Amino acid sequence: MKVAIIGAGIAGLAAAYDVLNAGHEVTLFEASDRPGGLAGGFQDERWQWPLEKFYHHLFKSDKAIIKLVDEIGFSDKLFFPRPTTSVIINGRIEPFDSPLRWFTFSGFNLLDTLRFGMVSAYLRFTTPWRKLEQVTADAWLRRWYGDKIYETVWRPLLIGKFGPHYQEVNMAWMWARVHVRSPRLGYFEGGFQAFVDRLTAVVQQKGGCLRLKAPVQNIQPAAGQVKLQVLGEAYTFDACLATTSPGLLSQLAPTLPAAYLGQLLNLQSMGAVVLTLALTRPFMPDDLTYWLNIPAHTPHKTQSEYPFLALVEHTNYINRQHYGGDHILYCGDYVTPDHPYMTMSKEELQAAFTAALPKINPAFRPEWIRQSWLFREKYAQPVPLLNHSQAIPDIRTPLPGLYFASMSQVYPWDRGTNYAVEIGRRAAAALLQKV
């Protein structure tokens, strides 16, 4: 078969790898100037390693991507440090990433700690997600953890992640977050871009054709085949896998049946905004925290004390010698795709974000900023509503030869590079059944 894959992110590359291994021809069409998608990186001229546009790490339980890493001979470049995750409680930064630290957490008394541990253990070691998707995370967490723990820990996280949708998200999503996480977090020598580059090279060595700056404009059925319009040129393939957002697929393939189009258009998602700062000094006052969850008590940014959901000091996780001695700080947030953050200038957003930094570290001064970068993506976090499993579009679309793989379909798991590999390889397997 001649197979087209739209998108050279992790899912598209993983699918291409499997289709090529099965002996077929593959052409990947990528709209941007480099592969990688949301896992792609950028590099300052002073740095040895590229850095992710959107902060990334792996978990020890991420079997799909770890298996692929091993298959392409890249395991020696993957390592698992043990960084610190903290929260802000009563104006102080406190570690909150292990049972021992739950006992020393000032926001809990002994009964709170025991309750937190018991309910978390239930989520960690059982698999009731099909029942949990029938209730909202807001209702379930409040009932079983209690109002105090819910208001202290879970509600701020739900608001930060889902904004105005935080009371609509189902509990299966939260179960998946607790169920598979590990304290050690994986990273690649050379960053995730190094993994992308290796996977891309392997795909090309196997005969895959990568077309960069080649946005697909239209997908049409053509006598049992699939016809693509790319930069005004027409191409015909035996099969096509689209790894785009649901909204973009609905625009590219308007002849999809109304029922399938409706499924695509009904899927909701959040956008991501990440301002990355290269600082001349460390930011976290404890000089240890990698990930700092920021308390949020309202989804309205203008009414919040902090204008973002997380601060991630990457160089408290990965040695700053790889970044020319810079201290790398991500200021990250999830917002609705139509939020003002998605259109504000870099200068406006940087002014808003950095104005909040002295509340966390009073010593911070804007003069610490050597350089800054802003990255945004409208489709970055699916919003799984009640009974979401029934709303997921099938990988096999109703158009013959057209397949679809997106982060909205990895449910109940959360989006991420591991599940991009999993959905890409699952889509490739479905496509290969066409043979």
Q: How far apart are CA 274 and CA 312, in angstroms?
A: 10
Is 315 a domain residue? no
Is 282 a domain residue? no
Instruction: Please say whether the beta carbons of 9 and 36 come within 8 A.
Output: yes
- 168/25 same-domain check: no
The per-residue pLDDT for 134 is 97
For the chain, which ranges sit under pLDDT 50? none
Dihedral angle at the C-alpha atoms of 43, 49, 51, 56, nearest 10 degrees? 160
Tokens for 99, please give them. Answer: 């049972």
**Domain end point (choices 180, 202, 222):** 180
Q: How far does CA 28 lie from the centroid of its chain?
A: 22
Give the tens place of pLDDT for each residue, 147-163.
Answer: 999 999 999 999 999 99
- 53/14 same-domain check: yes
Q: Token pair 């993957």 is at which residue? A: 78
Of 176, 160, 155, 408, the residue nearest 269 (C-alpha): 408
H or E stretch covering 5: strand 2-6
The SS3 of residue 273 is: strand
Instruction: Please say whether the beta carbons of 407 and 420 come within 8 A.
Output: yes
Question: Measuring CA to CA, how many Å separate 417 from each of 56, 307, 313, 385, 400?
Answer: 8, 27, 20, 22, 28
Question: Measuring CA to CA, how many Å separate 155 from each of 142, 162, 314, 371?
Answer: 9, 10, 25, 34
The per-residue pLDDT for 311 is 96
The per-residue pLDDT for 435 is 60
User: Domain range spanning residue 116?
Assistant: 98-180
The per-residue pLDDT for 295 is 87
CATH number for 23: 3.50.50.60
The model's pTM is: 0.95
- 135/259 same-domain check: no
**Domain end point (choices 114, 146, 180):** 180
Is 290 a domain residue? no
Instruction: Please say whether the beta carbons of 55 and 273 come within 8 A.
Output: no
The per-residue pLDDT for 181 is 84
The per-residue pLDDT for 275 is 98
